[in-house]
Amino acid sequence: MHMTGCLFVLKPIMLTLMANDIFNVTKSSVPRLPFRVEYGEKFNQYIYPIALHSYIAVFAHTFATIAVDGLYYSLIQHACAMFSIIGNTLENIGKNNEDIFYTKRVKIQDNNYSKTLHCLRRHPLVIEFAEHIESLFTKIFLINLNLNMIIGSLTGIQVLMNLDKSARDIAGPITMYIAQFLHLFLHFWQAQFLLDYSILPYKSICRANWYYTSHRCRKLLLLIMNRTTSPCKITAGKIVILSIESFATVVKTSLSYLTMFRSLQ
């Protein structure tokens, strides 16, 4: 995001320097803006404050995007870490037991039961935490997904229209096109992490020596396995599940929009 913002601001600055004699800059030279603005008749009078405000607005947008995305990535990684801790604990269940053990061991002496009970109590809290993440970002991702598909297609058309022109005319659209899809990919990639790690307790129980545990411990393991049958997921408006597979579908849809807009041109 910072690189895209720098390139977005650097282009008008370079065009301004190239349009004037660098060693003899006159007072008539005005800076170019990174995007089009409307300030009425006093535009030329306040061109430099307007230009400064435009440059700051670009970086303010990138900082806001990084802040929201950083929170999203941190929450996802924290949820994945908690699933991993539970999975690691369950995978070590029964490994310290001998071949001969008592299936009806006293509850206070059953360490496997105590560990499994702790995981059983923690697991719903982690699932609830993942559901809160989903409810927090689902509406944002629905808007972001639709805008990225439409704007990405329009940016692609802009690139195709400027292919026969100079490199400076297509550098900006190409940068924005790549940045949009990279930004979207990171959202789907993190959601894929949550999908994979939410079923980790189930796989860990299958790899554990559960047959060396007591009957009461096995019942708790079955309860945990039953709760992992439906993995935690991040959705866009409760419609699209974010994953690497759905990202490929989004890219195909965006290319379809690009073809349709190109045919209407």
Q: Is the separation of the CB atoms in 128 and 227 below 8 Å?
A: no
- β-bridge partners, 236: 240
DSSP state of 208: S
How many CB atoms lie under 10 A from the CB of residue 50?
Answer: 18
Query: Pick from 164, 91, 82, 69: which is nearest to 129 by CA?
Result: 82
Per-residue pLDDT at 47: 79
For the chain, how many structural domains are there in total? 1
- Whether residue 78 is contained in a domain is answered as yes
Q: Can you tell me which residue has the tokens 């301004």?
A: 16
Per-residue pLDDT at 72: 94
Q: Is the separation of the CB atoms in 236 and 242 below 8 Å?
A: yes
- Whether residue 52 is contained in a domain is answered as no
- Whether residue 202 is contained in a domain is answered as yes
Q: Is residue 23 over pLDDT 60?
A: no
- Whether residue 23 is contained in a domain is answered as no
Phi, psi torsion values for 237, nearest 5 degrees:
65, 30
The whole domain housing 184 covers: 69-264
Q: Is residue 222 over pLDDT 80?
A: yes
Least confident of 45-54, 125-134, 137-146, 212-221: 45-54
Per-residue pLDDT at 123: 94
Query: 71 is written with which tokens?
Result: 């929170």
Least confident of 29-33, 78-82, 151-155, 246-250: 29-33
- Whether residue 59 is contained in a domain is answered as no
- Whether residue 3 is contained in a domain is answered as no
How many CB atoms lie under 10 A from the CB of residue 187?
Answer: 23
Per-residue pLDDT at 180: 81
- Whether residue 189 is contained in a domain is answered as yes
Query: 15 is written with which tokens?
Result: 């065009």
- Whether residue 168 is contained in a domain is answered as yes
pLDDT in tens, 143-181: 888 888 777 777 777 777 776 666 666 666 777 778 888
pLDDT in tens, 95-107: 766 555 555 555 5
Residue 25 banded pLDDT, cuts 50, 70, 90:
very low
Per-residue pLDDT at 3: 76
